[in-house]
Amino acid sequence: MADKATLTIDGQSYEFPIITGTEQERAIDIKTLRGATGGVTTIDPGYKNTGSCQSAITFLDGEEGILRYRGYAIEALAEKASFLEVAYLLIFGELPTQVQLDKFDKDIKAESHVDEDMKKILDGFPKSAHPMGVLSALTSALIAFNPSSVNVDSEEDMYRTIVKLLAKFPVLAAWAMRKKKSQPLDYGDNSLGYVENLHKMMFAKPNEEYKVDKAVIDALDKLLILHADHEQNCSTSTVRMVGSSHAGLFASISSGICALWGPLHGGANQAVIEMLESIKEDGGDTKKYMAKAKDKEDPFRLMGFGHRVYKNFDPRAKIIKVAADDVLNQLGIEDPVLDIAKGLEKEALEDSYFVDRKLYPNVDFYSGIIYRALDIPVEMFTVMFALGRLPGWIAQWKEMRENKEPIGRPRQVYTGENFREFKEVSKR
Ligand code: SDX
Protein backbone atom coordinates (compact mmCIF):
# COMPACT_ATOMS: atom_id res chain seq x y z
CA MET A 1 0.00 0.00 0.00
CA ALA A 2 1.14 3.58 -0.70
CA ASP A 3 3.16 5.28 2.03
CA LYS A 4 2.60 8.74 0.56
CA ALA A 5 -0.44 10.88 -0.32
CA THR A 6 -0.39 13.56 -2.99
CA LEU A 7 -2.49 16.71 -2.78
CA THR A 8 -2.80 19.02 -5.76
CA ILE A 9 -3.72 22.69 -5.21
CA ASP A 10 -3.69 25.26 -8.03
CA GLY A 11 -1.81 22.81 -10.25
CA GLN A 12 0.93 22.32 -7.63
CA SER A 13 1.34 18.84 -6.10
CA TYR A 14 2.35 18.22 -2.51
CA GLU A 15 3.32 14.89 -0.99
CA PHE A 16 2.57 13.86 2.58
CA PRO A 17 3.66 10.66 4.37
CA ILE A 18 1.04 8.05 5.29
CA ILE A 19 1.68 6.53 8.71
CA THR A 20 0.41 3.05 9.57
CA GLY A 21 -0.51 1.92 13.10
CA THR A 22 0.05 -1.51 14.63
CA GLU A 23 -3.50 -2.54 13.60
CA GLN A 24 -2.93 -1.25 10.05
CA GLU A 25 -4.90 1.99 10.54
CA ARG A 26 -3.49 4.60 8.14
CA ALA A 27 -3.35 8.39 8.49
CA ILE A 28 -1.99 11.16 6.32
CA ASP A 29 0.59 13.10 8.32
CA ILE A 30 -0.17 16.75 7.46
CA LYS A 31 2.26 18.33 9.96
CA THR A 32 3.91 20.29 7.11
CA LEU A 33 0.72 21.18 5.17
CA ARG A 34 0.29 24.85 6.09
CA GLY A 35 3.96 25.69 5.58
CA ALA A 36 4.30 23.77 2.31
CA THR A 37 1.14 25.21 0.74
CA GLY A 38 1.53 28.82 1.88
CA GLY A 39 -1.27 28.73 4.44
CA VAL A 40 -3.79 26.08 3.34
CA THR A 41 -5.12 24.06 6.31
CA THR A 42 -7.90 21.49 6.75
CA ILE A 43 -11.31 21.75 8.43
CA ASP A 44 -13.19 18.83 9.99
CA PRO A 45 -16.04 19.78 12.42
CA GLY A 46 -16.16 17.27 15.30
CA TYR A 47 -12.84 15.83 14.09
CA LYS A 48 -14.75 12.95 12.44
CA ASN A 49 -11.84 12.32 10.07
CA THR A 50 -8.96 13.78 12.06
CA GLY A 51 -6.55 12.00 14.39
CA SER A 52 -5.19 14.11 17.26
CA CYS A 53 -2.36 11.84 18.36
CA GLN A 54 -0.67 8.47 18.09
CA SER A 55 -1.54 6.40 21.16
CA ALA A 56 -0.55 2.96 22.47
CA ILE A 57 -3.32 2.67 25.07
CA THR A 58 -6.65 1.60 23.53
CA PHE A 59 -7.58 0.13 20.15
CA LEU A 60 -11.13 0.33 18.75
CA ASP A 61 -12.38 -1.18 15.52
CA GLY A 62 -15.80 0.38 14.90
CA GLU A 63 -16.66 -1.90 12.01
CA GLU A 64 -15.73 -5.14 13.81
CA GLY A 65 -16.89 -4.02 17.28
CA ILE A 66 -13.43 -4.57 18.79
CA LEU A 67 -12.20 -2.86 21.98
CA ARG A 68 -8.79 -3.66 23.52
CA TYR A 69 -6.88 -2.02 26.40
CA ARG A 70 -3.11 -2.33 25.77
CA GLY A 71 -3.88 -5.26 23.43
CA TYR A 72 -6.13 -7.20 25.82
CA ALA A 73 -9.73 -7.81 24.67
CA ILE A 74 -12.40 -6.05 26.71
CA GLU A 75 -14.32 -9.35 26.98
CA ALA A 76 -11.39 -11.06 28.74
CA LEU A 77 -10.67 -8.11 31.02
CA ALA A 78 -14.34 -7.73 32.02
CA GLU A 79 -14.51 -11.47 32.77
CA LYS A 80 -11.16 -12.13 34.45
CA ALA A 81 -9.52 -8.90 35.70
CA SER A 82 -10.28 -6.54 38.59
CA PHE A 83 -10.81 -2.83 38.02
CA LEU A 84 -7.58 -2.05 39.90
CA GLU A 85 -5.63 -4.43 37.62
CA VAL A 86 -7.14 -2.73 34.56
CA ALA A 87 -6.29 0.70 35.97
CA TYR A 88 -2.66 -0.41 36.40
CA LEU A 89 -2.65 -1.91 32.87
CA LEU A 90 -3.97 1.27 31.25
CA ILE A 91 -1.66 3.61 33.16
CA PHE A 92 1.60 1.60 33.15
CA GLY A 93 1.09 -0.55 30.02
CA GLU A 94 1.29 -4.05 31.51
CA LEU A 95 -0.93 -6.26 33.67
CA PRO A 96 0.60 -6.06 37.18
CA THR A 97 2.30 -8.94 38.98
CA GLN A 98 0.83 -9.71 42.39
CA VAL A 99 3.70 -7.78 44.02
CA GLN A 100 3.08 -4.74 41.78
CA LEU A 101 -0.67 -4.90 42.37
CA ASP A 102 -0.25 -5.16 46.16
CA LYS A 103 2.11 -2.15 46.19
CA PHE A 104 -0.26 -0.14 43.95
CA ASP A 105 -3.17 -0.97 46.29
CA LYS A 106 -1.10 -0.08 49.38
CA ASP A 107 0.13 3.21 47.90
CA ILE A 108 -3.44 4.18 46.97
CA LYS A 109 -4.77 3.33 50.44
CA ALA A 110 -2.03 5.47 52.00
CA GLU A 111 -3.42 8.47 50.11
CA SER A 112 -7.14 7.84 50.68
CA HIS A 113 -7.60 10.68 53.20
CA VAL A 114 -9.09 13.95 51.97
CA ASP A 115 -8.35 17.21 53.78
CA GLU A 116 -11.13 18.09 56.23
CA ASP A 117 -11.34 21.63 54.83
CA MET A 118 -12.57 20.14 51.53
CA LYS A 119 -15.83 19.52 53.35
CA LYS A 120 -16.33 23.27 53.62
CA ILE A 121 -16.39 23.44 49.81
CA LEU A 122 -18.87 20.58 49.67
CA ASP A 123 -21.02 22.31 52.29
CA GLY A 124 -21.23 25.37 50.05
CA PHE A 125 -23.24 23.47 47.41
CA PRO A 126 -27.05 23.35 47.52
CA LYS A 127 -28.46 19.81 47.82
CA SER A 128 -29.93 20.34 44.34
CA ALA A 129 -26.43 20.60 42.79
CA HIS A 130 -25.77 17.94 40.11
CA PRO A 131 -23.09 15.52 41.40
CA MET A 132 -21.02 15.98 38.22
CA GLY A 133 -20.68 19.68 38.98
CA VAL A 134 -19.77 18.90 42.59
CA LEU A 135 -17.22 16.28 41.48
CA SER A 136 -15.58 18.58 38.95
CA ALA A 137 -15.32 21.39 41.51
CA LEU A 138 -13.94 19.16 44.26
CA THR A 139 -11.43 17.58 41.86
CA SER A 140 -10.17 21.02 40.95
CA ALA A 141 -10.14 22.06 44.62
CA LEU A 142 -7.85 19.10 45.39
CA ILE A 143 -5.06 21.12 43.74
CA ALA A 144 -5.12 23.66 46.57
CA PHE A 145 -4.59 20.89 49.12
CA ASN A 146 -1.99 19.05 47.00
CA PRO A 147 0.06 21.82 45.32
CA SER A 148 2.91 19.40 44.56
CA SER A 149 0.56 17.56 42.18
CA VAL A 150 0.81 20.30 39.54
CA ASN A 151 4.40 19.90 38.32
CA VAL A 152 5.11 16.27 37.51
CA ASP A 153 8.66 16.59 36.24
CA SER A 154 9.91 13.19 37.43
CA GLU A 155 8.58 9.63 37.25
CA GLU A 156 8.20 9.71 41.06
CA ASP A 157 6.18 12.96 40.90
CA MET A 158 3.97 11.44 38.19
CA TYR A 159 3.40 8.21 40.15
CA ARG A 160 2.65 10.00 43.42
CA THR A 161 0.18 12.38 41.73
CA ILE A 162 -1.58 9.52 39.94
CA VAL A 163 -1.91 7.52 43.15
CA LYS A 164 -3.26 10.54 45.01
CA LEU A 165 -6.00 11.04 42.43
CA LEU A 166 -6.95 7.35 42.23
CA ALA A 167 -7.21 7.37 46.05
CA LYS A 168 -9.15 10.57 46.59
CA PHE A 169 -11.48 10.60 43.56
CA PRO A 170 -13.76 7.80 44.89
CA VAL A 171 -14.04 9.66 48.21
CA LEU A 172 -15.17 12.83 46.41
CA ALA A 173 -17.62 10.87 44.25
CA ALA A 174 -19.10 9.18 47.31
CA TRP A 175 -19.28 12.54 49.11
CA ALA A 176 -21.21 13.99 46.13
CA MET A 177 -23.77 11.23 46.49
CA ARG A 178 -24.09 11.48 50.26
CA LYS A 179 -24.57 15.24 49.97
CA LYS A 180 -27.41 14.59 47.51
CA LYS A 181 -29.01 12.13 49.95
CA SER A 182 -28.37 14.32 53.05
CA GLN A 183 -26.33 11.51 54.59
CA PRO A 184 -23.20 11.90 56.77
CA LEU A 185 -19.92 11.57 54.87
CA ASP A 186 -18.21 8.20 55.18
CA TYR A 187 -14.45 7.65 55.44
CA GLY A 188 -14.20 4.22 53.89
CA ASP A 189 -12.26 1.27 55.21
CA ASN A 190 -8.75 0.47 54.01
CA SER A 191 -9.24 -3.21 54.80
CA LEU A 192 -11.63 -3.37 51.82
CA GLY A 193 -10.75 -3.63 48.12
CA TYR A 194 -10.88 -0.55 45.87
CA VAL A 195 -14.40 -1.13 44.52
CA GLU A 196 -15.72 -2.53 47.84
CA ASN A 197 -14.46 0.61 49.57
CA LEU A 198 -16.11 2.85 46.97
CA HIS A 199 -19.40 1.04 47.50
CA LYS A 200 -19.04 1.28 51.28
CA MET A 201 -18.37 5.04 51.12
CA MET A 202 -21.46 5.43 48.95
CA PHE A 203 -23.87 3.18 50.85
CA ALA A 204 -22.69 2.41 54.41
CA LYS A 205 -25.28 3.39 57.03
CA PRO A 206 -23.80 5.10 60.14
CA ASN A 207 -25.87 2.94 62.46
CA GLU A 208 -25.31 -0.43 60.77
CA GLU A 209 -22.29 -2.62 60.03
CA TYR A 210 -21.41 -2.51 56.31
CA LYS A 211 -21.67 -5.93 54.67
CA VAL A 212 -20.06 -6.65 51.27
CA ASP A 213 -22.49 -8.12 48.71
CA LYS A 214 -20.28 -9.97 46.20
CA ALA A 215 -22.86 -9.87 43.38
CA VAL A 216 -23.10 -6.09 43.72
CA ILE A 217 -19.33 -5.55 43.90
CA ASP A 218 -18.70 -7.87 40.92
CA ALA A 219 -21.29 -5.96 38.84
CA LEU A 220 -19.78 -2.62 39.80
CA ASP A 221 -16.23 -3.85 39.12
CA LYS A 222 -17.26 -5.04 35.64
CA LEU A 223 -19.04 -1.76 34.81
CA LEU A 224 -16.01 0.28 35.88
CA ILE A 225 -13.73 -1.88 33.69
CA LEU A 226 -16.05 -1.44 30.69
CA HIS A 227 -15.89 2.35 31.08
CA ALA A 228 -12.16 2.59 31.80
CA ASP A 229 -10.93 3.96 28.47
CA HIS A 230 -12.13 4.58 24.93
CA GLU A 231 -9.27 6.24 22.99
CA GLN A 232 -9.87 9.85 21.87
CA ASN A 233 -13.52 10.41 22.88
CA CYS A 234 -14.78 13.89 23.75
CA SER A 235 -13.79 13.91 27.45
CA THR A 236 -10.43 12.21 26.91
CA SER A 237 -9.58 14.66 24.15
CA THR A 238 -10.49 17.43 26.61
CA VAL A 239 -8.15 15.97 29.25
CA ARG A 240 -5.34 15.80 26.71
CA MET A 241 -6.05 19.29 25.38
CA VAL A 242 -6.09 20.91 28.85
CA GLY A 243 -3.01 18.92 29.89
CA SER A 244 -1.17 20.01 26.75
CA SER A 245 -0.92 23.52 28.24
CA HIS A 246 0.88 21.86 31.19
CA ALA A 247 -2.08 22.46 33.48
CA GLY A 248 -1.83 19.82 36.22
CA LEU A 249 -3.45 16.38 36.20
CA PHE A 250 -6.23 17.34 38.63
CA ALA A 251 -7.19 20.42 36.58
CA SER A 252 -7.18 18.35 33.37
CA ILE A 253 -9.39 15.65 34.90
CA SER A 254 -11.75 18.30 36.29
CA SER A 255 -12.21 19.54 32.70
CA GLY A 256 -12.77 15.99 31.45
CA ILE A 257 -15.56 15.54 34.01
CA CYS A 258 -17.35 18.56 32.56
CA ALA A 259 -17.02 17.25 29.01
CA LEU A 260 -18.33 13.83 30.08
CA TRP A 261 -21.37 15.47 31.73
CA GLY A 262 -22.98 16.33 28.41
CA PRO A 263 -26.00 14.18 27.39
CA LEU A 264 -24.43 13.40 24.01
CA HIS A 265 -21.48 11.82 25.86
CA GLY A 266 -21.38 10.30 29.35
CA GLY A 267 -24.54 12.11 30.43
CA ALA A 268 -26.41 9.76 28.08
CA ASN A 269 -26.64 7.02 30.74
CA GLN A 270 -28.80 9.33 32.87
CA ALA A 271 -30.75 10.47 29.78
CA VAL A 272 -31.43 6.84 28.78
CA ILE A 273 -33.13 5.97 32.06
CA GLU A 274 -35.11 9.22 32.01
CA MET A 275 -36.17 8.37 28.44
CA LEU A 276 -37.14 4.78 29.35
CA GLU A 277 -39.08 6.03 32.37
CA SER A 278 -41.02 8.52 30.23
CA ILE A 279 -41.82 5.77 27.71
CA LYS A 280 -43.04 3.59 30.59
CA GLU A 281 -45.15 6.46 31.97
CA ASP A 282 -46.51 6.94 28.46
CA GLY A 283 -47.85 3.37 28.39
CA GLY A 284 -44.68 1.72 26.99
CA ASP A 285 -45.47 2.78 23.43
CA THR A 286 -41.98 2.23 21.97
CA LYS A 287 -43.22 2.67 18.39
CA LYS A 288 -44.24 6.27 19.18
CA TYR A 289 -40.74 7.06 20.44
CA MET A 290 -39.07 5.32 17.51
CA ALA A 291 -41.10 7.59 15.21
CA LYS A 292 -40.05 10.64 17.23
CA ALA A 293 -36.37 9.59 16.98
CA LYS A 294 -36.69 9.41 13.18
CA ASP A 295 -38.61 12.67 12.79
CA LYS A 296 -36.15 15.38 11.80
CA GLU A 297 -38.58 18.01 13.06
CA ASP A 298 -38.52 16.40 16.51
CA PRO A 299 -35.44 17.12 18.67
CA PHE A 300 -35.95 13.74 20.43
CA ARG A 301 -33.06 11.31 20.01
CA LEU A 302 -33.00 7.68 21.08
CA MET A 303 -30.52 8.14 23.92
CA GLY A 304 -28.00 5.35 24.30
CA PHE A 305 -28.10 4.70 20.56
CA GLY A 306 -25.49 5.55 17.96
CA HIS A 307 -21.77 6.08 18.21
CA ARG A 308 -19.13 8.10 16.38
CA VAL A 309 -16.87 5.06 15.98
CA TYR A 310 -18.90 1.87 16.43
CA LYS A 311 -20.87 1.27 13.23
CA ASN A 312 -21.64 -2.36 13.99
CA PHE A 313 -22.18 -2.85 17.69
CA ASP A 314 -20.58 -1.52 20.88
CA PRO A 315 -18.92 -4.57 22.49
CA ARG A 316 -19.46 -3.00 25.90
CA ALA A 317 -23.22 -2.77 25.32
CA LYS A 318 -23.32 -6.50 24.52
CA ILE A 319 -21.54 -7.37 27.79
CA ILE A 320 -23.63 -4.94 29.87
CA LYS A 321 -26.89 -6.25 28.38
CA VAL A 322 -26.04 -9.79 29.58
CA ALA A 323 -24.84 -8.44 32.94
CA ALA A 324 -28.10 -6.53 33.37
CA ASP A 325 -30.09 -9.75 33.17
CA ASP A 326 -27.64 -11.53 35.53
CA VAL A 327 -27.61 -8.75 38.16
CA LEU A 328 -31.38 -8.33 38.19
CA ASN A 329 -31.84 -12.11 38.52
CA GLN A 330 -29.19 -12.36 41.29
CA LEU A 331 -30.78 -9.48 43.19
CA GLY A 332 -34.31 -10.71 42.46
CA ILE A 333 -35.28 -7.41 40.86
CA GLU A 334 -37.96 -6.99 38.18
CA ASP A 335 -37.38 -3.74 36.25
CA PRO A 336 -39.97 -3.07 33.53
CA VAL A 337 -37.70 -0.57 31.82
CA LEU A 338 -35.30 -3.43 30.93
CA ASP A 339 -38.03 -4.96 28.78
CA ILE A 340 -38.75 -1.55 27.23
CA ALA A 341 -35.02 -1.17 26.44
CA LYS A 342 -34.89 -4.62 24.84
CA GLY A 343 -38.04 -3.79 22.85
CA LEU A 344 -36.49 -0.58 21.54
CA GLU A 345 -33.30 -2.40 20.57
CA LYS A 346 -35.25 -5.10 18.72
CA GLU A 347 -37.35 -2.54 16.82
CA ALA A 348 -34.29 -0.44 15.95
CA LEU A 349 -32.42 -3.47 14.59
CA GLU A 350 -35.37 -4.04 12.19
CA ASP A 351 -35.81 -0.38 11.21
CA SER A 352 -34.05 0.93 8.09
CA TYR A 353 -33.59 4.42 9.62
CA PHE A 354 -31.34 2.92 12.32
CA VAL A 355 -29.84 0.16 10.20
CA ASP A 356 -28.95 2.53 7.34
CA ARG A 357 -27.30 4.95 9.78
CA LYS A 358 -25.63 2.07 11.66
CA LEU A 359 -27.18 3.12 14.96
CA TYR A 360 -26.86 0.45 17.66
CA PRO A 361 -27.02 0.48 21.46
CA ASN A 362 -23.87 2.01 22.96
CA VAL A 363 -22.31 1.65 26.38
CA ASP A 364 -24.91 3.96 27.94
CA PHE A 365 -28.00 2.09 26.78
CA TYR A 366 -28.13 -0.68 29.40
CA SER A 367 -25.67 0.54 32.06
CA GLY A 368 -28.27 2.67 33.87
CA ILE A 369 -30.47 -0.37 34.41
CA ILE A 370 -27.69 -1.99 36.42
CA TYR A 371 -26.86 1.19 38.33
CA ARG A 372 -30.54 1.46 39.24
CA ALA A 373 -30.59 -2.14 40.41
CA LEU A 374 -27.60 -1.28 42.62
CA ASP A 375 -29.70 1.53 44.13
CA ILE A 376 -27.50 4.27 42.64
CA PRO A 377 -29.49 7.49 42.13
CA VAL A 378 -29.93 8.45 38.45
CA GLU A 379 -28.03 11.72 38.87
CA MET A 380 -25.02 9.66 39.99
CA PHE A 381 -24.94 7.55 36.81
CA THR A 382 -22.50 9.83 35.00
CA VAL A 383 -20.36 10.02 38.14
CA MET A 384 -20.11 6.22 37.91
CA PHE A 385 -18.98 6.66 34.30
CA ALA A 386 -16.32 9.15 35.49
CA LEU A 387 -15.12 6.75 38.21
CA GLY A 388 -14.64 4.08 35.53
CA ARG A 389 -13.01 6.46 33.04
CA LEU A 390 -10.55 7.91 35.56
CA PRO A 391 -7.68 5.47 34.85
CA GLY A 392 -8.14 5.96 31.11
CA TRP A 393 -8.02 9.73 31.45
CA ILE A 394 -4.91 9.42 33.63
CA ALA A 395 -3.22 7.03 31.17
CA GLN A 396 -3.94 9.31 28.20
CA TRP A 397 -2.74 12.41 30.08
CA LYS A 398 0.45 10.63 31.15
CA GLU A 399 1.10 9.46 27.55
CA MET A 400 0.55 12.99 26.20
CA ARG A 401 3.04 14.43 28.73
CA GLU A 402 5.61 11.65 28.28
CA ASN A 403 5.44 12.08 24.50
CA LYS A 404 6.09 15.81 25.07
CA GLU A 405 3.18 16.66 22.74
CA PRO A 406 2.84 20.34 21.73
CA ILE A 407 0.10 22.56 23.18
CA GLY A 408 -3.19 21.90 21.36
CA ARG A 409 -4.13 24.90 19.22
CA PRO A 410 -6.30 24.13 16.13
CA ARG A 411 -6.59 26.56 13.22
CA GLN A 412 -9.87 27.92 11.75
CA VAL A 413 -11.37 29.40 8.60
CA TYR A 414 -12.47 32.97 9.35
CA THR A 415 -15.90 33.87 7.93
CA GLY A 416 -16.51 37.21 9.71
CA GLU A 417 -16.35 40.84 8.51
CA ASN A 418 -13.45 42.20 6.47
CA PHE A 419 -11.54 45.21 7.87
CA ARG A 420 -13.78 48.08 9.06
CA GLU A 421 -12.86 51.55 10.39
CA PHE A 422 -13.97 52.26 13.96
CA LYS A 423 -17.15 54.37 14.16
CA GLU A 424 -17.83 56.78 17.04
CA VAL A 425 -21.04 55.97 18.87
CA SER A 426 -22.60 59.20 17.64
CA LYS A 427 -22.16 57.98 14.07
CA ARG A 428 -23.53 54.37 14.51
C1 SDX B 1 -20.43 7.88 24.68
O2 SDX B 1 -16.74 8.69 21.57
C3 SDX B 1 -16.81 7.78 22.47
O4 SDX B 1 -16.06 6.83 22.46
C5 SDX B 1 -17.89 8.01 23.53
C6 SDX B 1 -18.14 6.88 24.49
C7 SDX B 1 -16.95 6.65 25.41
O8 SDX B 1 -16.83 5.53 25.93
O9 SDX B 1 -16.24 7.63 25.70
O10 SDX B 1 -18.42 5.70 23.78
C11 SDX B 1 -19.32 7.19 25.41
O12 SDX B 1 -20.47 9.09 24.66
C13 SDX B 1 -21.46 7.04 23.97
C14 SDX B 1 -22.51 7.92 23.19
C15 SDX B 1 -23.58 8.39 24.18
N16 SDX B 1 -24.50 9.34 23.57
C17 SDX B 1 -25.76 9.02 23.24
O18 SDX B 1 -26.25 7.90 23.40
C19 SDX B 1 -26.60 10.19 22.71
C20 SDX B 1 -27.41 9.73 21.49
N21 SDX B 1 -26.49 9.45 20.39
C22 SDX B 1 -26.26 10.52 19.44
O23 SDX B 1 -26.43 11.82 19.89
C24 SDX B 1 -25.13 10.25 18.46
O25 SDX B 1 -25.30 8.98 17.98
C26 SDX B 1 -23.68 10.41 18.94
C27 SDX B 1 -23.46 11.75 19.58
C28 SDX B 1 -23.32 9.33 19.90
C29 SDX B 1 -22.79 10.29 17.72
O30 SDX B 1 -23.03 11.37 16.92
P31 SDX B 1 -22.31 11.54 15.47
O32 SDX B 1 -21.27 10.52 15.27
O33 SDX B 1 -21.93 12.99 15.35
O34 SDX B 1 -23.46 11.17 14.48
P35 SDX B 1 -24.50 12.20 13.91
O36 SDX B 1 -25.08 13.04 15.01
O37 SDX B 1 -23.87 12.89 12.75
O38 SDX B 1 -25.68 11.21 13.38
C39 SDX B 1 -25.62 10.60 12.10
C40 SDX B 1 -27.09 10.38 11.71
C41 SDX B 1 -27.92 11.69 11.77
O42 SDX B 1 -29.01 11.52 10.88
P43 SDX B 1 -28.88 12.16 9.37
O44 SDX B 1 -28.53 13.63 9.54
O45 SDX B 1 -27.78 11.35 8.69
O46 SDX B 1 -30.23 11.94 8.76
O47 SDX B 1 -27.71 9.50 12.65
C48 SDX B 1 -28.75 10.19 13.35
C49 SDX B 1 -28.49 11.66 13.16
O50 SDX B 1 -29.69 12.40 13.26
N51 SDX B 1 -28.64 9.79 14.76
C52 SDX B 1 -29.67 9.51 15.56
C53 SDX B 1 -29.09 9.14 16.79
N54 SDX B 1 -27.76 9.19 16.71
C55 SDX B 1 -27.48 9.61 15.45
N56 SDX B 1 -31.00 9.56 15.35
C57 SDX B 1 -31.79 9.20 16.41
N58 SDX B 1 -31.32 8.81 17.62
C59 SDX B 1 -29.99 8.78 17.85
N60 SDX B 1 -29.52 8.40 19.03
What's the average model confidence in pLDDT over 142-168? 95
Report the catalytic residues.
307, 364
- Which atom of ligand 1 lies at the shortest distance from residue 266's CA? 12
For the chain, the residue count is 428
- Ligand 1 within 6 A of 345 CB? no
Q: Could you tell me the distance, in angstroms and rounded to a whole number, from the CA of residue 186 to the centre of ligand 1?
A: 38
User: What is the distance between the alpha carbons of residues 324 and 336, in angstroms, rounded to a whole number?
Assistant: 12
Pocket of ligand 1, candidates 316, 352, 359: which has the most ligand atoms within 8 Å of its Cβ, to mutate?
A: 359
Is the model's pLDDT at 153 over the cut of 90?
Answer: no
Establish whether residue 359 lines the binding site of ligand 1, counting it when its CB lies within 6 angstroms of any ligand atom: yes
CATH 1.10.240.10 at 73-259+384-403, yes or no: no
The CA distance from 378 to 365, in Å, is 13
CA of 308 to the centre of ligand 1 (A): 6
Domain ranges for the chain, please list them.
4-51, 73-259+384-403, 267-374
Fold category of 267-374 in CATH: Cytochrome p450-Terp; domain 2 (1.10.230)
Mean pLDDT of 85-96: 98
Q: Could you tell me the pLDDT band of residue 254, with boundaries at 50, 70 and 90?
A: very high
- Nearest CA to 210 out of 180, 187, 176, 178 is that of 187
Ligand 1 centroid, distance to 265 Cα (angstroms): 9
pLDDT in tens, 38-48: 999 999 999 99
**How much is the pLDDT for 2?**
84
For ligand 1, say whether the CB of 311 is within 6 Å of any of its atoms. no
- Between CA 56 and CA 54 the distance in angstroms is 7
CA of 89 to the centre of ligand 1 (A): 29
Q: Is 355 in the pocket of ligand 1 (CB under 6 A)?
A: no
Ligand 1 contact via 69 beta carbon (within 6 Å):
no
302 lines ligand 1 (CB under 6 A): yes
* Protein residue with its CA nearest to atom 32 in ligand 1: 308
pLDDT at 105 over 90: yes
Is the C-beta atom of 316 inside 6 A of ligand 1?
A: no
Over range 38-67, report the average pLDDT: 97
pLDDT at 414 over 90: yes
Dist. CA 421 → ligand 1 center (Å): 44
Per-residue HEC secondary structure of 169-216 comes to HHHHHHHHHHHHCCCCCCCCCCCCCHHHHHHHHHHCCCCCCCCCCHHH
Specify the long-range contacts of residues 145-150, CB closer than 8 Å, at least 24 apart.
145/114, 145/115, 145/117, 145/118, 146/250, 149/248, 149/249, 149/250, 150/248, 150/250, 150/251
Q: What pLDDT, on the 0 to 100 scale, is given for residue 101?
A: 98
* Protein residue closest via CA to atom 3 of ligand 1: 233
Decide: 268 in ligand 1 pocket, CB within 6 A. Answer: yes
Which atom of ligand 1 sits closest to the CA of residue 362? 13
Ligand 1 touching residue 226 (CB < 6 A): no
170 CB within 6 A, ligand 1? no
pLDDT band at residue 256 under the 50/70/90 scheme: very high
Name the average pLDDT for the chain: 96
pLDDT above 90 for 207: yes
141 CA → ligand 1 middle, Å: 33
The answer, yes or no, to whether any atom of ligand 1 lies below 6 A from the CB of 237, is no
Give the closest residue to 321 by CA, choosing from 124, 78, 145, 113: 78
Q: Is the pLDDT of residue 191 over 90?
A: yes
Q: How far is the CA of 37 from the centre of ligand 1 (A)?
A: 35
Is residue 357 within 6 Å of ligand 1 at its C-beta? yes
Question: Nearest C-alpha to atom 7 of ligand 1 is from which residue?
Answer: 230
- How many angstroms does the Cα of residue 367 sit away from the middle of ligand 1? 17
To the nearest whole percent, how much of the chain has pLDDT over 70? 100
Distance CA 240, CA 246 (A): 10
**Could you tell me how far CA 209 lies from the centroid of its own chain?**
33
- The protein residue whose alpha carbon is closest to atom 40 in ligand 1 is 357
Q: Which residues contact 306 (CB under 8 A, 6 or more apart)?
A: 357, 359, 360, 362
Where does the pLDDT of residue 1 fall: very low under 50, low under 70, confident under 90, or very high at 90 and above? confident
Residue nearest to atom 37 of ligand 1 (CA): 308
Q: Is the pLDDT of residue 312 over 90?
A: no
Domains 4-51 and 73-259+384-403 share a fold: no
Q: Which atom of ligand 1 is nearest to the CA of 305?
A: 60
- The predicted-structure confidence for 225-249, as pLDDT tens digits, reads as follows 999 999 999 999 999 999 999 999 9
Dihedral of CA 173/95/321/61: which sign? positive
Q: Where does 4-51 sit in CATH, by number?
A: 2.20.28
List, for residues 340-373, the tens digit of each pLDDT value: 999 999 999 999 999 999 999 999 999 999 999 9
Average pLDDT over residues 170-193: 95
